[in-house]
Structure 1
Amino acid sequence: MIDSAPLLPGRQPFLDDSVICLAAPSFALSPRDGQLRGTGVDGFYDQDQRLLHTLRLLVDDQEPEHVAYRTEGSREAFFQAVCRSSEDPTSAPWLLVTRERAVRRPDVAVTEPESEAGSGDVVLVQNVGPAAARFTLSVVAATDLADVATIKAGVPAADIPCELGEGLAPEVRWHSPRDNSEVVLRAEPAPLNDGALEPKITLDDHRPGLAEFRWELLLKSGEEWSVRLVVQGKATTVADYPVPPRQPAPWGPVEVTGHERMAALLTKGLADLEALRLAEPTASADERENQFVAAGCPWFLGLFGRDSIWAARMMLPFGTELARGTLRTLAGRQGRRHDAFTDEAPGRILHELRPTETRHGDGLVLPARYYASVDATPLFVVLLHEAWKWGLAEKEVRLLLPQARAAMEWVAATLGPDDLISYGKGRADGLLHQGWKDSPDAIRDAEGRRVDPPIALCEVQGYAYQAAVGYAELVTALQDDKKQAQVWLDRASRIRAAFQRSFWVEEPDGRRYPAIAVDGAGRPVTGRTSNMGHLLNSGILQSEEEHRAVAEALMSDGLRTPWGIRTRSAHLAGFNPFGYHGGSVWAHDSAIAVHGLAATGFVDEAATLLDGMLDAARHFDHRLPELYAVYANSRFDRPAPYPPSCRPQAWAAAAAALLCSAMLRVDADVPDRRLTLRPIAPSRMGLESPYAVRGLRLGERSVDVTVDLHGGAQVSGIDTEEWRIDA
């Protein structure tokens, strides 16, 4: 029996060359030859747990030679291999081996026959030699049933012993006593010569947990045979944990014509978001689901407040149903009490939800429900307000106003005497930082010195300001509560004034930029970073001069690259193009900057960055990764992958929608029947013909926009007598 290689201890596995099949919460990762050898992150997964780490295909105890692979959508991959004989002087293969992998969501009705339900592989072998061939085909399998956090930390886990199953088809079963999770690998062989072909199943006495299915085959020339390998698991999860969605994606079809790169990016992004969907459990199949998108595969395939909110915000021009599902899902888990271990507090919005408590290495221990984010709570209110503007039904908004009020009360309680919203030092084994840049070294000054909490982040002040103003508008319009609205408008003014006092940094040449943060002593943390891009659309900047200062800083040599905005300027000490938050380029972060620049009138800057991001996507098969690296002063003419990053990742996939919105410079106010369009002219994006976007949603209305060569917009799908169109 062939043994598989161990995990490389202590290092996060790389993913950039992995073939990923995804249908959340299930996925599979493998090298390009499709073999699962028990190394790195290889395996079939479900609910944050690895079901199999080894599924190795052998012919006469040797691996076939890999030829090619391709993916089909997000869920399927096809691998081709051959077997050659050293006795054949032509080196022509005598056996063709095809492996078809499909990942399907568990417990969901499928249209395939019963035998085709479940994730797994179909192996097809065909004798293409001139004579009959006798050979063995075997499949070696093993698992550790490890959780994703353990794998991410590069911590080896012991294999689980296995036993023969008792099903009608040949099967092997692994069961973990530590959490009662289990997995079954079932073989469903096709008949051969009109007879059943049962495998010999061997369990390795020297390595408990390693199982082998072996078939002795005799194929005539031109004859083929197949076996289906079905992987089914059962994981232990917390109560009311999200489930695979039963209903279609909560957005309609969207089409871009006349701009091929944008069309390709948006098509791939929407497909990735579809694969990342999860839903709240419902009582009946007919009940309307609350769907949201998981943060990313494989490390964050679950509900993450900040990530799911941002993805829903970016998707608002294509429908409000994803926002509705995201808001309701988070509202149901809003904090109600104070808990030091989970960081729960009344009104606080969840940071992340896992099936079980997770240990991430380096002493980091996170509970299944964890609330330690400083930005998810104001962003929840921002999303509710923006969804209302884009046409979320008034009754749906009203139902969520109590949760919005509780969230704003948390914001009020978190504001310090300096009128800034900040976070302090949490428990020693929890997250150090609570913004989107949450790695331990994410907050550093211009000299590269690490700055630890208490911290007030610049973008969080913008979110809090935007939430306060938006909430005031909501309670005025829907509750006629002008007194409460004024309370929040006053608080917004104080947040804005505090931002003005605390965050602006002036350089020796007189140029200014907002600091990434203010430390516990009230000092701005110097050094240009990408966080300031989030301020452009928040309303917290007071003047055109301040907007211009941010635009110029974002477009400066240290931050701007040909393919996006760096998280930290290359001119600062400690810059690293592969630093997670210390110099890499994040897709969503750059897209937010593009959108903010376009919305505030810096059209040429927005068009330049938009072109660069579309070019970056081209180097990644039109899928923007979570983050990537751009070398400083390098002749390397493309962005480099950040190998451990998620693929796909929710706000990177949704960045395609935000870039499309930035291209149209679109804004909506459905309650007031107003649509604003200031499209970027084709010539500014290197196009020589008009472009169009079909499938924008204004409430229940589907709207198409066509942009002529000069940037003029024509709109169809709404009554111009009822609506005011500013174009």
Structure 2
Amino acid sequence: MIDSASPEVGLQPFLHTRVICLAAPSFALSATDGQLRGTGVDGFYDQDRRLLHTLRVLVNGQEPEPVDHGQQGPREAVFRAMCRQPGDPTSAPWLLVTRERAVRRPGSGESGDVIRLHNVNSQEARFTLSVVAATDLADVATVKAGAPVDDVGCEQVEGVARGVRWLCPRDKSRVLLRAEALTTSADGRTAPAGGLPKPELLLDREHPGRAEFRWQLCLQPDEEWSVRLLLQGKTTTVAGHPVPPRLGVPWQTPEVTGHERMAALLKRGLADLEALRLAERSSAAGEREDQFVAAGCPWFLGLFGRDSIWAARMMLPLGTDLARGTLWTLARRQGERHDSFTEEAPGRILHELRPAETRHGDGMVLPARYYGSVDATPLFVVLLHEAWKWGLPEKELKLLLPHARAAMKWVEGAMGGDHLIRYGKGRANGLLHQGWKDSPDAVRDAEGRHIEPPIALCEVQGYAYQAAMAYSDILTALGDGGGEAERWQERACRLRAAFHRSFWITEPKGRRYPAIAVDAEGHPVSGLTSNMGHLLNSGILLDDEERRQVAEALVSEELRTPWGIRTRSARLPGFNPFSYHGGSVWAHDSAIAVHGLATAGFAAEAAALIDGMLDAAAHFDHQLPELYAAYPSPRFGRPAPFPPSCRPQAWAAASATLLCSAMLGLEADVPRRRLTVRPIAPSLMGLNSPYSVRGLRLGADTVDVRVDTHGGTEVLGIDGKHWHIAAPAPCTT
């Protein structure tokens, strides 16, 4: 039998069949029976380190037979199994085994499993229960690379509960696993069972580091017995590394009525984002806490500039506190000097923050603090401006202004003589590409040839243009008297003109579309890709005709699938529906395109894509994964999992809020007391009744939006006396 969780050495483990419990920075992954067998990605983790890779439950030396499993929110899972007697003609079980898993954030409880045994036989049952445990204390990057790691030795620990401890000789990281028998009261509550015999603890001499807890049990008919396995880990981290949040979520939870699938997607997305939250270590009791969301579980469970910024942007209709926390967390780590290894530069915004230096396979080595991103820096300024438009106080805006100024200075320095913003070749063992499509084969032309840096990416020009205009708007609002606002408008105009000259491709049959990139010689890189979808809301497109051309390319048969937008045209060499950036469908990428289409007035196209993404989410239990595959053949009637995809992933989870915002056509300007609502009519989305979204956040106000069957709107929570509420004709075509 081949275990899909046990790939060949050197291959990234698959995740699509794993059960994931998450409370960042801690998580656990296992097969659907709950067993951890020391293979693949399975294990309990904290701070990017695997605390346990083996935790097998055995009855009389055999694994119980799995029956089913279920999850109760992001943190908890329940696995049910049974034991049967060989030769029993009824095949009825004599023992029911329930395994309850919970992952807790450090400081809020201990992670682990509770094993519950129930004798359902009519006779007394005598048997041996064993729990086998081991670990390698591997870092997540090593696990992702499929690289083998030796197990860590262990020792017995005596105390209130018997336990075993593993200690890593490399960095003194350590893990403690304790076993605690439980009693169940009449009301169903469990408590430690004082006075009961401790388990026998066996250390395997043939396999140093492997430990076994063993109980000799005797259960009377209908009797139950339980034991709790408690896990504690202490790993080494860099100074100032983020910690679990101590406060509640930094957003308001809305309610969607009249659109059940959107409501289900939003509920699941917000639950996943809650589990992905982290916070700054420097936050003191009684002060506001700077929270952000980690990029994704398990591979990117930390601060990632681009990902965390995009997630915060998408969440702005629910409040600005997540944006504020994300901005300050990144601002404190903004580049101050030039460093060739970390690729730090003055003003540059961080790409990723890890607890320690990581080795990712294929020779790639990334430092704990890495700046190799071309888009996080302009996106930082875009987020600051949009957060201000949604109600971030002017006081915060002024405090963050020096960081925005430094970021724009970096953007200016990244612009070449042709006024385009580029990235060049970094160090040999760093990232080759520095946009959101950062895999080695992410940028290819229509012939399938790999294009290497220096490169100017199309969406990055849009971000830079938007950042320049946003920065100019901020300076103007704050009373800039030095002409800096006007100078940035001029730079934005030059960038826009350069984009118009350099990026547009005209095919022989007359179709025009923006290239994914401009190469080192200034030539546009041919071939339809999804990157152009990011341009629709950036302002860099010149007119309605260019927006129409982008919209038509996005919804063409080459890019559009029934469940979202492909990253690369299905008609091009190199297309692969299971390629990370060469044909797969990314949830955030498609949601950005949807929002851009809706804003640009392409309501029918946006509505069809919303419907498709909601259909995709239904196939994944209403949880949009990081990315998924759509076969080009219509014979496959559902999206396929992308096996190594993060689940949950921040901007995929936050895409639910962006889709909701696109559905309502929201555009806010709190400083000028303006709100625009241009919803998509229910009929375009296959609805026969009104829908509403209650609990949106507009500065200090809570706002409800109701949309009738014809697309007409009613806004509650603010009034026309103090606000200018614009409700253009509804989007019905």
TM-score range, shorter chain: over 0.9
- Alpha-carbon distance in structure 1 between the residues aligned to 2:154 and 2:477: 62
Post-superposition Cα deviations, 1:177-202, rounded to whole Å, max 9, x if no partner, equal 11111101011112699841210000
Kindly indicate whether residue 20 of structure 2 is the aligned counterpart of residue 8 of structure 1: no
- Alpha-carbon distance in structure 2 between the residues aligned to 1:107 and 1:351: 28
Match of 2:75 in 1: 75
Q: 2:157 aligns with which of 156, 159, 165?
A: 165
Kindly indicate whether residue 660 of structure 2 is the aligned counterpart of residue 668 of structure 1: no
- Alpha-carbon distance in structure 2 between the residues aligned to 1:484 and 1:592: 30
Shift of 1:537: 0.1
Match of 1:180 in 2: 172
1:634-673 equivalences in 2 (<5 Å):
634-673=634-673
Match of 2:147 in 1: 155
Q: Is contact 2:578–2:642 with CA below 8 Å preserved after alignment?
A: yes
Q: Which amino acid is the alignment partner of residue 64 of structure 1?
A: P
Q: Which amino acid is the alignment partner of residue 174 of structure 2?
A: E
Q: Is contact 2:119–2:220 with CA below 8 Å preserved after alignment?
A: yes
Shift of 1:8: 3.5
Shift of 1:123: 0.4
- Alpha-carbon distance in structure 2 between the residues aligned to 1:431 and 1:186: 41
Q: Which amino acid is the alignment partner of residue 147 of structure 2?
A: V
Match of 1:113 in 2: none
Q: 1:135 aligns with which of 112, 127, 152?
A: 127
- Alpha-carbon distance in structure 2 between the residues aligned to 1:680 and 1:491: 35
- Alpha-carbon distance in structure 2 between the residues aligned to 1:297 and 1:277: 11
- Alpha-carbon distance in structure 2 between the residues aligned to 1:658 and 1:715: 19
Post-superposition Cα deviations, 1:320-359, rounded to whole Å, max 9, x if no partner, equal 0000000000000000000000000000000000000000
Q: Is contact 2:257–2:263 with CA below 8 Å preserved after alignment?
A: yes
1:91-240 equivalences in 2 (<5 Å):
91-108=91-108, 117-190=109-182, 195-240=195-240
Q: Is contact 1:256–1:263 with CA below 8 Å preserved after alignment?
A: yes
Match of 2:462 in 1: 462
Post-superposition Cα deviations, 1:93-121, rounded to whole Å, max 9, x if no partner, equal 1101000000000023xxxxxxxx30000
- Alpha-carbon distance in structure 2 between the residues aligned to 1:481 and 1:599: 33
Kindly indicate whether residue 713 of structure 2 is the aligned counterpart of residue 713 of structure 1: yes
Q: Is contact 1:292–1:326 with CA below 8 Å preserved after alignment?
A: yes
Q: Which runs of 5+ in 2 are unaligned?
A: 185-192, 728-733
Q: Secondary structure at the match of 2:241?
A: coil
Q: Decide which moves more: 472-481 or 671-680.
A: 472-481
Kindly indicate whether residue 48 of structure 2 is the aligned counterpart of residue 48 of structure 1: yes
Q: Which amino acid is the alignment partner of residue 186 of structure 1?
A: R
Q: Is contact 1:74–1:271 with CA below 8 Å preserved after alignment?
A: yes
Q: Is contact 2:664–2:680 with CA below 8 Å preserved after alignment?
A: yes
Shift of 1:719: 2.2
Runs of 4+ in structure 1 over 2 Å off: 5-8, 190-195, 282-285, 479-482
Q: Structure 1 residues 488 and 279 mapped into 2: Cα distance closer, same or farther (>3 Å)? A: same
Shift of 1:459: 0.3
Q: Secondary structure at the match of 2:242?
A: coil
Q: Which amino acid is the alignment partner of residue 170 of structure 2?
A: R
Match of 1:386 in 2: 386
- Alpha-carbon distance in structure 2 between the residues aligned to 1:382 and 1:6: 43
Shift of 1:479: 3.6
Q: Secondary structure at the match of 1:248?
A: coil
- Alpha-carbon distance in structure 1 between the residues aligned to 2:156 and 2:282: 35
Post-superposition Cα deviations, 1:346-404, rounded to whole Å, max 9, x if no partner, equal 00000000000000000000000000000000000000000000001110111100000
Kindly indicate whether residue 258 of structure 2 is the aligned counterpart of residue 266 of structure 1: no
Match of 1:114 in 2: none
Q: Decide which moves more: 278-287 or 449-458.
A: 278-287
Q: Secondary structure at the match of 1:361?
A: coil
Q: Decide which moves more: 628-637 or 37-46.
A: 628-637
Q: Is contact 1:6–1:38 with CA below 8 Å preserved after alignment?
A: no
Shift of 1:475: 0.8
Q: Which amino acid is the alignment partner of residue 17 of structure 2?
A: D
1:15-54 equivalences in 2 (<5 Å):
15-54=15-54
Q: Which amino acid is the alignment partner of residue 670 of structure 1?
A: V
Q: Structure 1 residues 634 and 684 mapped into 2: Cα distance closer, same or farther (>3 Å)? A: closer
- Alpha-carbon distance in structure 2 between the residues aligned to 1:174 and 1:634: 52
- Alpha-carbon distance in structure 1 between the residues aligned to 2:613 and 2:106: 36
Q: Which amino acid is the alignment partner of residue 709 of structure 2?
A: L
Q: Is contact 1:150–1:361 with CA below 8 Å preserved after alignment?
A: yes
Q: Is contact 2:6–2:13 with CA below 8 Å preserved after alignment?
A: no
Q: Which amino acid is the alignment partner of residue 589 of structure 1?
A: D
Shift of 1:6: 7.1
Match of 2:511 in 1: 511
- Alpha-carbon distance in structure 1 between the residues aligned to 2:287 and 2:85: 58
Shift of 1:253: 1.6
- Alpha-carbon distance in structure 2 between the residues aligned to 1:344 and 1:460: 19
Q: Normalising by the residue count of structure 2, what TM-score does the alignment of the two structures yield? A: 0.97
Post-superposition Cα deviations, 1:121-168, rounded to whole Å, max 9, x if no partner, equal 000001010011100101000000000000000001100010012432
Q: Is contact 2:283–2:290 with CA below 8 Å preserved after alignment?
A: no
Q: Normalising by the residue count of structure 1, what TM-score does the alignment of the two structures yield? A: 0.97
- Alpha-carbon distance in structure 2 between the residues aligned to 1:407 and 1:40: 41
- Alpha-carbon distance in structure 1 between the residues aligned to 2:457 and 2:723: 39
Q: Is contact 1:7–1:156 with CA below 8 Å preserved after alignment?
A: no
Q: Is contact 1:476–1:482 with CA below 8 Å preserved after alignment?
A: no
- Alpha-carbon distance in structure 2 between the residues aligned to 1:391 and 1:285: 25
Shift of 1:41: 0.5
- Alpha-carbon distance in structure 1 between the residues aligned to 2:420 and 2:695: 40
- Alpha-carbon distance in structure 2 between the residues aligned to 1:313 and 1:675: 17
Q: Which runs of 5+ in 1 are unaligned?
A: 109-116
- Alpha-carbon distance in structure 1 between the residues aligned to 2:382 and 2:283: 30
Q: Secondary structure at the match of 2:395?
A: helix
Match of 1:319 in 2: 319
Q: Which amino acid is the alignment partner of residue 115 of structure 2?
A: V
Q: Secondary structure at the match of 1:190?
A: strand
- Alpha-carbon distance in structure 2 between the residues aligned to 1:286 and 1:62: 52
1:582-661 equivalences in 2 (<5 Å):
582-661=582-661
Match of 2:731 in 1: none
Q: Is contact 1:191–1:197 with CA below 8 Å preserved after alignment?
A: no
Q: Is contact 1:268–1:623 with CA below 8 Å preserved after alignment?
A: yes
Match of 1:300 in 2: 300
Shift of 1:285: 2.2
Q: Is contact 1:20–1:29 with CA below 8 Å preserved after alignment?
A: yes
Match of 2:190 in 1: none
- Alpha-carbon distance in structure 2 between the residues aligned to 1:472 and 1:581: 34
1:278-427 equivalences in 2 (<5 Å):
278-427=278-427
Q: Which amino acid is the alignment partner of residue 120 of structure 2?
A: V
Match of 2:428 in 1: 428
- Alpha-carbon distance in structure 1 between the residues aligned to 2:24 and 2:478: 36
- Alpha-carbon distance in structure 1 between the residues aligned to 2:55 and 2:88: 29
Q: Secondary structure at the match of 1:466?
A: helix
- Alpha-carbon distance in structure 2 between the residues aligned to 1:533 and 1:179: 45
- Alpha-carbon distance in structure 2 between the residues aligned to 1:719 and 1:615: 36
Q: Secondary structure at the match of 1:66?
A: strand
Q: Secondary structure at the match of 1:198?
A: coil
- Alpha-carbon distance in structure 2 between the residues aligned to 1:356 and 1:87: 54
- Alpha-carbon distance in structure 2 between the residues aligned to 1:301 and 1:146: 15
How well do the aligned residues superpose, as a CA RMSD in angstroms?
Answer: 1.2
- Alpha-carbon distance in structure 1 between the residues aligned to 2:663 and 2:558: 25
Q: Secondary structure at the match of 1:525?
A: coil
Q: Secondary structure at the match of 2:617?
A: helix
Q: Is contact 1:8–1:39 with CA below 8 Å preserved after alignment?
A: no
